[in-house]
Amino acid sequence: MTNFLEQLPKRIRDIAESLNVLTPEEVLTTPRVKFLDTRVTSVYTLVRKCTPDDVRVLKDAAAKWLAETPLTADSLFKPLANVRWSRVSFGCPALDRCTGGGVVTRGITEICGAAGVGKTQLLLQLALCVQLPLQLGGLGKGVAYICTEDVFPARRLREMSNAMEARYPQESLNLMGNVFVEHQREIDTLINCVVNHLPRLLRQHSIGLIVIDSVGAIFRLFTDYLERARLMRRLANALISYADKYNCAVVCVNQVSSKCNGSSDDAPCLGLQWSHLGRTRMCITRVPKQHMVQDQLLTVRKLEILYSPETPNDFAEFLITAQGVVELPAKVRRL
């Protein structure tokens, strides 16, 4: 941005140009020592030796150029700003109650659970619900679904979308056509897909939900923890920036592994690094209770919020039927 440099006094502009630092972003991220280092800029050039005050003026100017003015907290409740905190409903009243309305469109929401406990089912339901219009709890937008281990369960989605269309016959929904599926089994291709190809999809279609099923499988095989941390951060950075820019919800699926110290609970995989990158963490487990629905004995599942910035650590029980994820019937639920 040549405008930024032009408004500075000539001396400071020379200092910046001699290091080939031209944009305000580069000015702020170049450490101060680089400007003061006399090994880099020759003493015989026209630039007089750079002093710390000069660097401070330069950085101040860059900061002023880039900084945005703070808003007051109560202006965040007004309609234009509070769209940043919208939610995608789960389609099941119990789960919505427990999570405060559904999945937030900020940051990464992590759903962890053992194998076969119903994570993919819940995600399919979410993928259908996000396409519902705003007044029914969705966002009216499509889904980008990235599978890393199994094949995408298209037939199951068809079954669930038929049930949802039967529930809301007045809306003309094209539920299957708005779910964009991608299979990526390696970490490099996954990061390439998320960083390079996903923005193109986000620009062309309006996407309200990005799902990565599952992150646990793809990162578990790493032995070099530093490299794994770096890649996790890069992936999370890209996802969070899309959530900010396009106001969509991001859900990543994680697995659990049993703790080494012999206790019976399972801990989510991927360690501390991943837990810092996620904003909300929910855990699905099986409850040793069963319930009869139309001649089938189904096991009750429990969704528990492990941490979330806006809701207390609540839990809710649900069932997975042919129609999708439903809550327990009223007479069975403990009040």
Partner 1 sequence: MENASSSSNKLNLFNNSCLDILQRDSQSRIATGHKGLDRHLGGGIALRQITELVGNSGTGKTKMCLQLCLNVQIPKSAGGLEGAALFIDTRRDFHPDRLQELAYDLERQYKHKSPDFQASKMLQNIHYVSCPDAVQLMATVLSSHRHLMAHPNIKVIVIDSLAFSLRMLEDGAQRFELLLELLQSMRRLQREHPVAWVVTNVLTHRCIGRQFHVVPALGDLYSNLINERIWFSRSGHCSLGKLWKTSRLVKD
Q: Would you tell me which residues interact with partner 1 (CB under 8 A)?
A: 24-25, 28-29, 31-33, 59-60, 62-74, 76-77, 82, 85, 104, 106-107, 225, 230, 233, 237, 240-241, 244, 271-273, 275-276, 278-279, 281, 306-310
Task: Name the DSSP letter for residue 197.
Answer: I
Q: How many Å apart are CA 329 and CA 262, to the nearest integer? A: 36
Q: How many Å apart are CA 199 and CA 206, to the nearest integer? A: 11
Nearer to partner 1, 44 or 77 (CB): 77
Nearer to partner 1, 66 or 154 (CB): 66
71-104: b (≥16 Cβ within 10 Å) or e: eeeeeeeeeeeeeeebbbbbbbebbbebbbbbbb
Closest CB 258 distance from partner 1, rounded Å: 19
Nearer to partner 1, 233 or 286 (CB): 233
Q: How many Å apart are CA 245 and CA 163, to the nearest integer? A: 32
Task: Name the DSSP letter for residue 253.
Answer: E
Closest CB 24 distance from partner 1, rounded Å: 8
Closest CB 168 distance from partner 1, rounded Å: 28
Nearer to partner 1, 110 or 327 (CB): 110
CB 198 within 8 A of CB 180: no
CB 144 within 8 A of CB 182: yes
Closest CB 177 distance from partner 1, rounded Å: 31
Nearer to partner 1, 33 or 330 (CB): 33
Angle at 222 between CA 219 and CA 224, to 5 degrees: 130
Nearer to partner 1, 85 or 152 (CB): 85
Closest CB 96 distance from partner 1, rounded Å: 15
Reading phi first (left if > 0) and then psi (alpha if -120 to 50, else beta), residue 102 is in left
Which residues, at least 6 apart from 214, have a Cβ–Cβ distance to it below 8 Å?
Answer: 119, 148, 149, 252, 253, 254, 255
Nearer to partner 1, 48 or 84 (CB): 84
Closest CB 232 distance from partner 1, rounded Å: 11
Closest CB 210 distance from partner 1, rounded Å: 15
CB 48 within 8 A of CB 69: no
